[in-house]
Amino acid sequence: MPTHEEMIQELMEMRFRVGKVSRSFSLKDQTKGEMFVLTYLSRNGGSCFSKEIADTMAISSARVAAILNGLETKGMIERGINPENRRQTLVRLLPRGQEVVNRGQQALFRFIGEIMDELGPEDAAEYLRLEKKIADILERKCQQNHTDDRTHSGEARKC
């Protein structure tokens, strides 16, 4: 039986391998940041403020602006000023952006389906159970960390 440290090292290596291979299957016309923003908009009613995107992605407002510039140039989003607070930028998903999200989700669904088929029903169910457990642990730890951060900074962050 491997030691605790050996299992951690093996898991880190496997995550690296999975990430490396997964990047080769990404959509060619969008960066990861662009796809994340499009999907985020789609899942949140088609619009949000640019600050929400920055907070969710944990990136600077300058980086968000660069992503939004690319998406706006491609006709996938539009930006406007919040009439209630002119300092806020409202981002809205356009039909072309929603089409990209739909195609990406369909491709991802097929890809994951192929992987699940190769795993077989028992291993796929066990993998899903473990991923859910890991997601729950990560969300709990994130909430704990942000609660600790809030006591120091007075500002809450989203997980």
Clarify whether residues 125 and 96 are in a common domain.
Answer: no
Q: Tell me: do 64 and 83 sit in the same domain.
A: yes
Q: Are 128 and 112 in contact (CB under 8 A)?
A: no
pLDDT value for 69: 96
Residues 43 and 100 in one domain: yes
Q: Do 95 and 70 sit in the same domain of this protein?
A: yes
Confidence of residue 146 (pLDDT cuts 50, 70, 90): confident
Residues 86 and 149 grouped into a single domain: no
Total structural domains within the chain: 2
Residue 114 has pLDDT above 90, yes or no: yes
**145 is in which domain, residue-wise?**
120-159
Report d(CA 4, CA 10) in Å as an integer: 10
Same domain, 89 and 53: yes
Confidence check: pLDDT of 106 > 70: yes
Could you read off the pLDDT of 21-79 as tens digits, one per residue?
776 665 555 677 899 999 999 999 999 999 999 999 999 999 999 999 999 999 999 99
Among candidate residues 69, 86, 109, the one where a domain is terminated? 109
pLDDT at 141: 92
- Residues 82-99, mean pLDDT to the nearest whole number: 94
